[in-house]
Each structure stands twice: as C-alpha cells, then as structure tokens.
Amino acid sequence: MLQAPRAVFAALRPDDDESAQARQEPILALCVLAGIAGVLSTGVAARLLDDPALDNVTVALWAFVGGALYGVVGYWIAGALVYGAARGFGSLGSYRRARHIVGFAAAPLALSLLVLWPVGLAVFGSDLFRTGGSDSGAGGEVFDAAQLAFVGWSAGLLVIGVRAVHGWSWPRAAATVAVAMAPLALLFVAERL
C-alpha cells in the first residue's frame, strides 16, 4: 500500500463478496491502528495524565479501546462521506467500496502509530499526556507537524484511491475528497480550539 498505492486501489474495482471479504481483516487492522493514532492526537489525550487518578496503564487501555472505536466509527463515517461525495460527482460505485478506499488510505495513520509515537514517547515520555510538559515548545511543534504530515499522506492516498477506483481525473478525484473530508476537517479544527 505504501509503495504502490495505485495498484492496490485498482484491485478494489471488483466489488464482489469474495473480494470484499478477503479485504475485511486487513482493513479492520488498519482502521484500529489509525484510530489509536487518532485518539492519541486529540486534546483529551494531551491532558490525560493531568488527572492524578490516571496512570500509564490507564492511558494505554484508553488509547486501545477508544482508538478501536474511533477507527471503526471513523471508517464508517468517512466511508459514507466519500460515498456521498463520489455519488455527487457521478460515481456508480458502492458504499462498501468507498469504505475500503478509506480503510486502505488510513495506512499512513496506522504507520504513524508504529513509527512516530514510539519516537515521541522516547523523546517526551509521559509528558505527551500532560499539559505543559517537555513536549511544549519547538519539540512539540515538530511532533505535531509530523502528525499532520501523516494525515496529509493519508489524504493524498485517498485522492489516489478515488482516482484509481473510478478512473477519474486528478481534479475530479481531489474535489471528491475535498467535499467528503470538509466536515471532518471542520471537526478537527473545532477540537483543536
């Protein structure tokens, strides 16, 4: 997925039950890992250890359970948004295929959990989950920028996926993704304020 995304997305064109069932487990794994990375990136996670009743084990459990829910619900909602936007731009594809595009496009977010977060924990430790810790300042801004780079990578893969599956032009695929992701982008900005 990370090396030849166009070929992976083109393989999503067959939407029969057998092909879809073969993709379900990898997509679930990607969505759960991406969801964990997503909840760890929230403002709530950045304040978890401000509460003395919580410890590192509680944070890990919260991240796993909350991230799994976040990833699965996000998969269904983002899939619905992509499906609706694609239909608006003339797609005849199914909701299932739209969800699968979203699931595979989440691969960089899942990768960020396995690459970025261990580095962040090694550098900042539990301060990532406290207000005003060593992650505030320039180092924290670099970490936040790296997180946004993974989000941008996923958004780029989503455009590639929509284009490859539907055989559309770059502007049409980009417009579809922009329309689909606008509500999620607004929620992200509102959560950060």
DSSP class of residue 56? H
Rounded distance between C-alpha atoms, residue 70 and residue 67, angstroms? 5
Query: Whose CA is closest to 161, among 148, 176, 147, 146?
Result: 176
Q: Which helix (H) or strand (E) holds 63?
A: helix 56-88
Q: What pLDDT score does 43 carry?
A: 83
**Spatial CA neighbour of 130 closest among 190, 69, 56:** 56
pLDDT at 135: 66
**Separation CA 85–CA 80 (nearest Å):** 8
CB atoms within 10 A of CB 161: 28
Angle among Cα 64, 123, 38 to the nearest 5 degrees reads 30
The pTM of this model reads 0.91
Structure tokens at 22: 């073969």
Residue 70's pLDDT is 94
- Which residue shows structure tokens 């003395």? 52
Give me the tens of pLDDT residue by residue for the chain, a chain 193 residues long.
Answer: 788 999 999 999 888 999 899 999 999 999 999 999 999 998 889 889 999 999 999 999 999 999 999 999 999 999 999 999 999 999 999 999 999 999 999 999 999 999 999 998 888 888 888 887 666 667 778 888 999 999 999 999 999 999 999 999 999 999 999 999 999 889 878 876 6
